[in-house]
Amino acid sequence: MLALEGIRVLDLSRLAPGPYCSMLLADLGADVLLVEEPVGTGDAPAQVARRLLDRDISERAMVFNALSRNKRSIALNLKNQAARQVFHKLVERADVVLEGFRPGVVKRLGADYDTLSRINPRIIYCSLSGYGQSGPYVGLVGHDINYISIGGALGMIGWPGTPPAIPMNIIADFAGGGLYSAFAILAAVIARERTGRGQYVDMAMTDGVLSLLVLVASQYFGSGIAPRPGQSFLNGGVPFYCVYETRDGQWLSIGCLEPAFWEALCRALGREDFIPYQMNVDKHAEMFDYFRQEFKTRTRDEWFEYLRQFDICVGPVYSLEEVFNDPQVRARDMVVELEHPTVGKVQQVGVGAKLSETPGSVRSLAPRRGQHTEEVLLDLGYSRQRIDDLRAEGAVG
């Protein structure tokens, strides 16, 4: 048994945050049906963005696209009235609808919450957008870089005197957006068990970013001091929580916040005299100078093997190619391998949540667009002749 078995999700989202949200649900057993445009229809800019960011149309790219794994696909042109009727039939049976369009788009498609909640009062409807469905930025376009800018995260990343360091689109798109939406949807599912009614989830990625900054924000509200890039306790401003270049040009991360870990680090580096001065800002420059010189005497991996034996918070800074060969990553099944009939062996990132009784799994690779259209329509009671007619009029693909 899978934890979310029996939960039906209709996924109208396109770019990474929405598909990541529904991937998390699908990995744990939800029946996620991608509602996609038939080939040749849909908004041209959106199609270009999908190809650039996460939905290359080549078979190989689609097979390796983990965001669409464990899902089925139906191709519906929601600008067509007959296709809308199909979608509304799907809503009657669904538990969750997820969409990531700009505010106002779903209303024009007859797929907004007010319309669908009249069809199915138990439906949980999640709108995932950059700035949410209210406020002065409601119509402002954006991407991860913009959301982490306004959300306050980007301004704290980097080093003094340099431009902000732009991270990959992890913070807003995947954490503040996709992951937070999955959490909110499941909270609404639990609430429905008590109330019998669904509800609307308005998820803004900027809200998610700010929520992730809750500790930093709390400290700011309490002290009035805002963290600056490379100058604060947890972003590289202290010698015991920083990164250091090693002899081979690689980098090592040190995170010895607690006094016991700091003491172990100082002893391992032969500088017991530093131990009493961990929080003495006047000594930090001297510590930084020594650590930067000392860490260049061995390679990254030599330092890691040496320091890890002393109960020290240390880690090699990996490139992505290296991550998937790390023994801890392998031991935790965070790389899975499946077989595809034409592409062959396909590797993907594994399931993060480890549930003892109802573990998630990767059961199928990404579907072709519209791969399950006929299967779904037959299940809804449509005849093969009616399906052919719908195809002919461009309602389905």
Q: What are phi and psi of 321, to 5 degrees?
A: -60, -35
Q: How far apart are the first and last CA of the chain?
A: 32
C-alpha triplet 278, 281, 283: angle, nearest 5°: 70
Q: Helices H, strands E: what count in the chain?
A: 17, 11
Structure tokens at 147: 């959301």
173 is known as an active-site residue: yes
Query: How many Å apart are CA 161 and CA 217, to the nearest integer?
Result: 23
Tell me if residue 366 falls in helix, strand or coil: coil
> Active site residue: 54, 112, 144, 173, which one?
173
Cα 256 to chain center, whole Å?
28
DSSP state of 356: S
CA distance 380 to 345: 34
- Measured from the Cβ of residue 314, the count of other Cβ atoms closer than 10 Å reads 21
Separation CA 169–CA 173 (nearest Å):
6
What token pair was written down for 215?
């500790």
| Catalytic residue, candidates 56, 88, 143, 311 | 143
CA distance 350 to 362: 7
Residue 54, C-beta contacts closer than 8 angstroms, at least 6 positions apart: 15, 16, 19, 65, 67
* CA 62 from centroid of its chain's CA atoms: 18
Reference 73, options 374, 306, 339, 327; nearest CA is: 374
- Residue closest to 11 by CA, chosen among 202, 26, 364: 26
What order do you get walking across the sheet with 31-36 strand by strand? 71-75, 31-36, 8-11, 96-99, 124-129, 200-204
Question: Bridge partners of 242?
Answer: 254
User: How far apart, in whole angstroms, are the C-alpha atoms of residue 272 and residue 376?
Assistant: 69
User: Cα(266)–Cα(278) distance, rounded to whole angstroms?
Assistant: 10
With CA atoms as reference, report the closest residue to 43 among 16, 14, 17: 14
Q: Please identify every residue annotated as catalytic.
A: 143, 173
